[in-house]
Amino acid sequence: MTDPIVPPPKKDPQKVTRPPESPPLQRSRASLKLTAAASRGVFALQVCEACGTVSYPPRDACAGCLSTDIEFRPVDDRGSVIAETVIRTSTDLYFRERTPWRVGMVRLDCGPSIVAHLHGDVAVPGPVRMVAKLDKSGNAVLMALPETESENMADDPEYCELTASPRHRRVLVTSGREAVGQAVAAALSKAGASTVFVGIAESWKPFAGQAKLESIPNVEIMPLDLTDTTSVTELAGEIGGKTDIVVNTADYVRPGGLFGEGGLVTAREAFDVNVFGLQRLAQAFGPGMRGRGADGVNSAAAFVDVLPVHALANTPDFGFYSASAAARNSLLQCLRSEMRPGGVRVMSVFTGPVDDDWRQQVPPPKVAPVQIARAVVAALEEGIEESFVGDVAKDIAQRFLDDPKVLERELGK
Amino acid sequence: MVETPQTEKQMPLKPSRRPYRDVVVAVPVSIAYVRYSIETAHWWIARALKELTERAGIRPTDIDGLSVSSFTLAPDTAVGLTQHLGLTPRWLDNIPMGGASAVVALRRAARAVEAGDATIVACVGGDANQVDSFRKLLSSFSRFAQDASYPYGYGGPNGSFALLTDHYMRAYGATREDFGRICVAQRDNALTYPHAIMKKKLTLDDYMAARAIADPIHLFDCVMPCAGAEAFLVTTEDVAKDLGLPHAKLLSTIERHNAFPDDPIQMRGGWAMDVDELYAMAGCGPDDVDVLETYDDYPVIVMMQFEDLGFCGKGEGPEFVRTHDMTNGGDFPQNTSGGQLSAGQAGAAGGYLGMVEALRQVTGQSLSKPVESACTALVSGFGMINYDRGLCSGAAILQGSGV
């Protein structure tokens, strides 16, 4: 069993905040494909199309038959750890701060030997299952976990470096007026967040679900209007230093393409929330979070954005809305890079059409707010950078990976 | 899909290797190591070559073959070094094989001399060690290390060898004391070698009480990176005699890379593939070896060399070290100048340390305590942890006229 993480004491403002260090950043291009799979929570290794050999470390040709036709595919994650060590000194600043660090040699059932992070509950020698996750520099690393769930397993310090659990952390959810924001706030509270700040615009106006939201344990209602730079800056001034996770659930949905009446006005409103709202939020909260990326148990950990999967390809019925989502997705890529030096994860939770008033004419399957809430918590607890909620989002993601141009024609029928 | 050939071609029979004809090794040079130095690899190599030519009684321009090993020459290679040092060789080699460098350099040079492609080949290994050198070297060592070993605790070679050591201990019941015996004996040998970095006696208690670096590796299992250079000459017996140089004959060599890739973790080196050939070519066996110089970046690999080179069976290493005296005066003189564990690890020069020491021992030029009537020496090399294991291995048998 793992020692449970104890809630951190109140921070001593006189003490220095530990500056975030990054684990080694440099990787080969082949290795970045491992990272791409890990960012979606998939354990994939290169499999030779010619002879079936499973390879590791990532390479450019099969060591079984010299074929260059090798692709990353999900493989059997089971194996045995056959040796272990505990690193106690390192010349690398990131690990130097974090020793002792347990490492093992794992022989995978599907062939290769893997040097991996070793969970504290794994017995050596013994069976393990492997997971691929992103480390604090945003690169894939492999970790060997006990074959079956152990007590407080997620509290293992090496595992915690690869996740952004909301437990003991202070979270800001940006849209308390909407069902999605409310569901996410409830789920984060249940997942152990010590405080859930919930932003409400125009707080004098009552809204559906208000009483229920206010009754969620650890929820604190805060004034927040993402279209108002002063409002965002003021909130960051008040809680920015103690916000460990931001979950942006704001989303301004209107149907229409380019030729509709009043298109430009609504498009501007949509961009003001979906794109510039995200930008205001990132500008106000991002730098502080990046500086607190290694600040103990409740260090700044993640910036999550819940955005429509049509960020990947335009659906003309919601043409400018899709365009705002695409801009949002692009901004997230920028933010991911800017937050990386702090080890703060930028997570995209792509959703299919939400079941709400603006999308009554969209055929099912649609996504319920509680599904999104579950996905946000899972992304944080498991450290998944890109997740897709609902069947439509998964379908579009798959088509996008296959060929974005084909997807464009499919959606633009 | 790749098409399968219709018929498998029959591989031709492995031809037997031609013996070395009058290739000799002479002029063992060691430039005393320094823990940290502001000097460059070029400087260290120049010092070794200067001493080499002076002691051989030749001019630098008489060197018509040059073989260089260094981790810290960048952006230069052996090519840039020729102009830098004013040499005009007609045969040039650059051996990037770390601890296997000297054996491989000798192998290549021997055939060049034999064929007449070069007459006097200077083989040199040397490296700088500035305060930040080791950290920088690690960060750009290999692609697999960058992708698949550094991100896991960044223990460098300590971390890799900790895993091998842990596995070996589990598989064969070796204890820390067993590895300690190797380190303690080598320290005794080092105390007789004036150039050794370590000058203080090491007891088994000291060894056991040292702090952990990467369990089960503790402080005295690790070498100390330093700056320095080592060199020797390869030439024909006639030239050596003309120059009046004490020399040893080259009897045999082996070399192997990425041996046993299917072993889940390294339990043996390439020696195990080629050891029969090594002794057959030399016309002798393990019992005929008077002095053994192994590559000792960590004691576990020394133990594996005892096994893989036929001094004991696989898994018998622990028992072997319990029952043998590995000091220069003992029944199994091993790493007679202290090895890298006690003499220091000067980068690629570390691969040369054993070769140069063996040459001194069998040609009556020993700086450390001479091994009595040492005539036949086996030198073993091992290098390059590309990912999880050392890839290069090699060995050579030298025969001197004894003392």
Q: Is the pLDDT of residue B1 over 50?
A: no
Q: Which residue of chain B is at minimal alpha-carbon distance from A136?
A: B151
pLDDT (tens digit per residue) in B200-257: 999 999 999 999 999 999 999 999 999 999 999 999 999 999 999 999 999 999 999 9
Contact B344, B31 (CB under 8 A): no
Record the tokens describing residue A232, joined without a space: 């965002």
For residues A153 and A381, what is the distance between their CA atoms, to the nearest angstrom? 12
pLDDT score of B6: 56
H-run or E-run covering A84: strand A78-87
Which residues of chain B neighbour A124 with C-beta distances below 8 Å?
A: 166
For residues A23 and B153, what is the distance between their CA atoms, to the nearest angstrom? 9
Which of A24, A51, A89 lies at the smallest CB-CB distance from B213?
A89
> Among B138, B147, B149, B267, which would you mutate to test the A interface (most chain A Cβ atoms within 10 Å of its Cβ)?
B147
Chain B: closest CA distance from residue A401 (Å): 23
Per-residue burial over A197-228, b = 16 or more CB atoms within 10 Å of its CB, e = otherwise = bbbbbebeeeeebbeebeebebbebbebbbee
For residues B371 and B364, what is the distance between their CA atoms, to the nearest angstrom? 10
**A152 φ/ψ sector (left φ>0, alpha ψ -120 to 50, else beta):** left
Q: Up-side HSE of residue A140: CA atoms within 13 Å toward CB? A: 28
User: What does the DSSP 8-state code read for residue B136?
Assistant: H
Which of A83, A88, A103 lies at the smallest CB-CB distance from B167?
A83
Asked if the C-beta of A65 comes within 8 angstroms of chain B's C-beta atoms, the answer is: yes
Sign, Cα dihedral of B253, B258, B259, B265: positive
Asked if the C-beta of B5 comes within 8 angstroms of chain A's C-beta atoms, the answer is: no
Q: Is the pLDDT of residue B34 over 60?
A: yes
Q: Which residue of chain B is at minimal alpha-carbon distance from A102?
A: B153
Asked if the C-beta of B162 comes within 8 angstroms of chain A's C-beta atoms, the answer is: yes
- Cis peptide leading into A287, omega within 30 of 0? no
CB contact (8 A) between residue A107 and residue B265 = yes
CB contact (8 A) between residue B155 and residue A107 = no
For residues B41 and B348, what is the distance between their CA atoms, to the nearest angstrom? 10
Composition of chain A by helix, strand, coil, percent to 5: 35, 25, 40
CB contact (8 A) between residue A24 and residue B146 = yes
Asked if the C-beta of B388 comes within 8 angstroms of chain A's C-beta atoms, the answer is: yes
CB contact (8 A) between residue A95 and residue B387 = no
pLDDT score of B270: 97
Query: Which residues, 6+ apart, have CB-to-CB distance to B7 below 8 Å?
Result: none
pLDDT tens series, chain A, 413 aa: 899 999 888 888 888 888 999 999 999 999 999 999 999 999 999 999 999 999 999 999 999 999 999 999 999 999 999 999 999 999 999 999 999 999 999 999 999 999 999 999 999 999 999 999 999 999 999 999 999 999 999 999 999 999 999 999 999 999 999 999 999 999 999 999 999 999 999 989 999 999 999 999 999 999 999 999 999 999 999 999 999 999 999 999 999 988 877 788 889 999 999 999 999 999 999 999 999 999 989 999 999 999 999 999 999 999 999 999 999 999 999 999 999 999 999 999 999 999 888 888 888 899 999 999 999 999 999 999 999 999 999 999 999 999 999 999 999 97
Selection from A209, A171, A199 nearest residue A187 by Cα: A171
Asked if the C-beta of A87 comes within 8 angstroms of chain B's C-beta atoms, the answer is: yes
For residues B204 and B178, what is the distance between their CA atoms, to the nearest angstrom? 10
Contact B162, B155 (CB under 8 A): yes
Chain B: closest CA distance from residue A161 (Å): 12
CB contact (8 A) between residue A113 and residue B134 = no
Which residues of chain B neighbour A101 with C-beta distances below 8 Å?
A: 153, 155
Q: Which residue of chain A is at minimal alpha-carbon distance from B151?
A: A24
Q: Which residue of chain B is at minimal alpha-carbon distance from A110?
A: B264
Q: Is the pLDDT of residue B3 over 60?
A: no
| Burial of A50 (C-beta count, 10 Å sphere; 0-12/13-18/19+) | middle
Which of A82, A92, A139 lies at the smallest CB-CB distance from B265?
A82
For residues B57 and B66, what is the distance between their CA atoms, to the nearest angstrom? 17
Place of tokens 């059409």: A353
For residues A192 and A199, what is the distance between their CA atoms, to the nearest angstrom? 19
CB contact (8 A) between residue A117 and residue B146 = no
For residues A144 and A132, what is the distance between their CA atoms, to the nearest angstrom? 9
Q: Which residue of chain A is at minimal alpha-carbon distance from B162?
A: A85
- Cis peptide leading into B60, omega within 30 of 0? no
Q: Is the pLDDT of residue B15 over 70?
A: no
Segment 16-75 of chain B within 8 Å of chain A by CB: none
For residues A286 and A210, what is the distance between their CA atoms, to the nearest angstrom? 28
Q: Going along B280-337, which residue ranges are E strands?
A: 291-293
Q: Rounded to an integer, what is the distance from CA A223 to the centroid of its chain? A: 25
Would strands A302-308 and A345-351 be described as parallel, antiparallel, or unpaired? parallel
Q: Which residue of chain A is at minimal alpha-carbon distance from B158?
A: A87
For residues A340 and A361, what is the distance between their CA atoms, to the nearest angstrom? 40
Query: Which residues, 6+ apart, have CB-to-CB distance to A259 below 8 Å?
Result: none
CB contact (8 A) between residue B1 and residue A50 = yes
Type of residue at A331: L
pLDDT score of B10: 72
Composition of chain B by helix, strand, coil, percent to 5: 40, 20, 40
DSSP string, A101-124: EEEEEEEETTS-EEEEEE-TT--S
Which of B159, B164, B167 lies at the smallest CB-CB distance from A87?
B159
Record the tokens describing residue B356, joined without a space: 């140069």
User: What does the DSSP 8-state code read for residue A364?
Assistant: S
The radius of gyration computed from the CA coordinates of chain A, to the nearest angstrom, equals 22
pLDDT (tens digit per residue) in B311-355: 999 999 999 999 999 999 999 999 999 999 999 999 999 999 999
Contact A404, A381 (CB under 8 A): no
Chain A, chain B: beta-carbon pairs less than 8 Å apart: 125
CB contact (8 A) between residue A82 and residue B148 = no
CB contact (8 A) between residue A87 and residue B153 = yes
Selection from A121, A125, A104, A124 nearest residue A113 by Cα: A104
CB contact (8 A) between residue B150 and residue A63 = no
pLDDT (tens digit per residue) in B101-139: 999 999 999 999 999 999 999 999 999 999 887 777 776
CB contact (8 A) between residue B154 and residue A107 = no
For residues A71 and B118, what is the distance between their CA atoms, to the nearest angstrom? 48
Type of residue at B158: N
Chain A: closest CA distance from residue B151 (Å): 6
Chain B: closest CA distance from residue A241 (Å): 30
For residues A33 and A57, what is the distance between their CA atoms, to the nearest angstrom? 12
pLDDT score of A164: 98
Asked if the C-beta of A107 comes within 8 angstroms of chain B's C-beta atoms, the answer is: yes
Residues across chain A: 413
**Residue B392 — very low, low, confident or very high, per pLDDT cuts 50/70/90?**
very high
- Cis peptide leading into B246, omega within 30 of 0? no
User: What does the DSSP 8-state code read for residue B62?
Assistant: G
Which residues of chain A neighbour B212 with C-beta distances below 8 Å?
A: 86, 88
CB contact (8 A) between residue A27 and residue B139 = no
Asked if the C-beta of A264 comes within 8 angstroms of chain B's C-beta atoms, the answer is: no
| DSSP-based three-state secondary structure for B262 | coil
Query: Which residues, 6+ apart, have CB-to-CB distance to B118 below 8 Å?
Result: B64, B65, B89, B90, B91, B109, B112
Asked if the C-beta of B264 comes within 8 angstroms of chain A's C-beta atoms, the answer is: yes
Sign, Cα dihedral of A203, A206, A207, A211: positive
Which residues of chain B neighbour A46 with C-beta distances below 8 Å?
A: none
pLDDT score of B321: 98
CB contact (8 A) between residue B264 and residue A113 = yes
CB contact (8 A) between residue B155 and residue A113 = no
pLDDT (tens digit per residue) in B213-222: 999 999 999 9
Chain A: closest CA distance from residue B372 (Å): 41
Backbone angles phi, psi at A325, to 5 degrees: -65, -40
Asked if the C-beta of A93 comes within 8 angstroms of chain B's C-beta atoms, the answer is: no
Record the tokens describing residue B149, joined without a space: 């070993």
Asked if the C-beta of B150 comes within 8 angstroms of chain A's C-beta atoms, the answer is: yes
**Residue B8 — very low, low, confident or very high, per pLDDT cuts 50/70/90?**
low
Which of A50, A57, A125 lies at the smallest CB-CB distance from B387?
A57
For residues B285 and B280, what is the distance between their CA atoms, to the nearest angstrom? 8
**Residue B402 — very low, low, confident or very high, per pLDDT cuts 50/70/90?**
low
CB contact (8 A) between residue A24 and residue B159 = no
Contact B30, B250 (CB under 8 A): no
Query: Which residues, 6+ apart, have CB-to-CB distance to B80 below 8 Å?
Result: B73
Selection from B87, B24, B100 nearest residue B354 by Cα: B100
pLDDT (tens digit per residue) in A219-267: 999 999 999 999 999 999 999 999 999 999 999 999 998 887 778 888 9
| Burial of A234 (C-beta count, 10 Å sphere; 0-12/13-18/19+) | middle
pLDDT (tens digit per residue) in B60-108: 999 999 999 999 999 999 999 999 999 999 999 999 999 999 999 999 9
| DSSP-based three-state secondary structure for A178 | coil
